[in-house]
Amino acid sequence: MSFSWLTCSLLLGTLCAGYSLGEAETRECVYYNDNWRTERTNQSGFERCEGEKDKRLHCYASWLNSSGTIKLVKKGCWLDDFNCYDRQECVSMEENPQVFFCCCEGNYCNERFTHLPDMIVKIRPPPRVPSMLNVLVYSLLPLCVLSLALILALWMYRHRKPPYGHVDLSEDPGPTPPSPMVGLKPLQLLEVKARGRFGCVWKAQLMSEYVAVKIFPVQDKQSWQNERDIFLSPGMRHENVLRYIGAEKHGTSLEMELWLITEFHERGSLTDHLKGNTVTWSELCLIAETMSRGLAYLHEDVPSHKGEGPKPTIAHRDFKSKNVLLRDDLTAVIGDFGLAVRFEPGKPPGDTHGQVGTRRYMAPEVLEGAINFQRDSFLRIDMYAMGLVLWELVSRCSDVDGTVGEYMLPFEEEIGQHPSLEDLQDVVVHKKMRPVFKDCWFKHPGLSQMCETIEECWDHDAEARLSAGCVEERIGQISRTISSTTSDSPVCIVTSLTNEDLPPKESST
């Protein structure tokens, strides 16, 4: 056994030495950007490659081929990628890609690029007489492999406790659904923007577009699969619902990562925005109205349209300010459907386990474990959470006669940043408390009407809560009727609203 280990070490050392000699250092690449006007860069030239010391650098090129007409898209430096190792020429090997992509090692190796599919027949070199080294390698290699396999089997037997707890790896996550963008290159991860219980969200670049890549570990495959399926439901394209691009699987077994690719919004979530900014009355109305419009669309049954099947009612089940994203113009889009459930006529809704979601935003009936497992019950749970998110917005409105406090989560003042389930049950269920309204809010006619709407969203009686469509209509009417304050004066120019002027209260069905 000791002889075989020594021999294996010598062989591996020889192979590694040979490998390092074949590595070509890349310092500069040919640069080109077809979108140079939009991205405000140079059109062509040379790019100096920079990266971490222990990472390899490469050059790349990407182009389109339309009926034999080649259109160059981009050239430049490419970060460490094992697919590019020891390639001295830039050659695309894929059979029929939508976008051609190649990478290589060595200065300016991407100056020329070509496409040679894998099926090309390679010319075989004339057979050589085996040398003594080859005979030695082929004789001892099986012995080395067998020795390593035995040692690895023994180690795995002794450490057979699974590293991720109970994970059913026998069930495959299923085939990745077809998507117009899946498989496009280059898709390059840039920086982590958020972390959560599901994994993390990366800002990434897909050609000239920034996208968000949500990466799930394999043990959270159910959340990935559920969110993917919700996005693929008929009729899920809406201006206030996050736009889906594609889903991919990377790696195998325990190392597998499940990717969900969506549009990217630089402003981030409503939580992030409210932490660092106050909002004016007009901004509050814009965010609240577009947010309620998105939730109303999710809750709605939409008949077949333009060849698509009917859109089912979708209950979000984890509605909170962290899952509301903001565009640059402050319109809201709703995302994160890992816990969402569909209600389709004649079909069971799937997993409708009661106590799911974020504890702080759970409705009283969820905290009590007293849910009626019907469609309308789940929609009313979303509406309770919407009331809390609207309170967060109002608490950061700058158009009030008084100072605006620091951003706080719902119930943070009452029970802190990390409440237990028992804390929330005591406050929300038994004491029937809700986040506090400040007196100065009622001096602003718009905010006072908004507070009334919030109270009807988080009503303890689930059947008494407003529907998302009613909230959208009310906020629209309030914002049109109440004139916003000027930037210089806290005095409002208003037209009074009475309860009779507001849209009638309706059930959240």
d(CA 344, CA 301) in angstroms, rounded, equals: 9
Instruction: Decide if 202 contacts 213 (C-beta within 8 A).
Output: yes
- Give helix 445-457 / helix 468-481 axis angle, nearest 10°: 170
The full DSSP string for 211-229 is EEEEEEEGGGHHHHHHHHH
Which of 34, 318, 336, 399 is catalytic? The answer is 318
Q: CA–CA separation, 304 vs 456, rounded Å?
A: 33
Q: Helix axis angle, 445-457 relative to 375-395, nearest 10°?
A: 150
Enter the tokens of residue 51.
């990266």
In the numeric block, the tokens 């400040």 are attached to 438
Residue 133, both tokens = 């080294």
Is 382 an annotated catalytic residue?
no
362: alpha, beta or left? (left if phi > 0; alpha if psi -120 to 50): beta
Q: For residue 338, what are the contacts with CB-CB under 8 A and spacing of at least 6?
A: 198, 223, 224, 226, 227, 318
The answer to whether 26 and 106 have CB atoms below 8 angstroms apart is yes
Contact 507, 375 (CB under 8 A): no
Q: Which residues of 198-228 are buried (b: 16+ CB within 10 A; e: fewer)?
A: bbebbbbebbeeebbbbbbbbbbbebbbbbb
DSSP 452-506: HHHHHHS-SSGGGSPPHHHHHHHHHHHHHHSPPPPSS-S--------GGGSPPP-
Which residues are known to be catalytic? 318
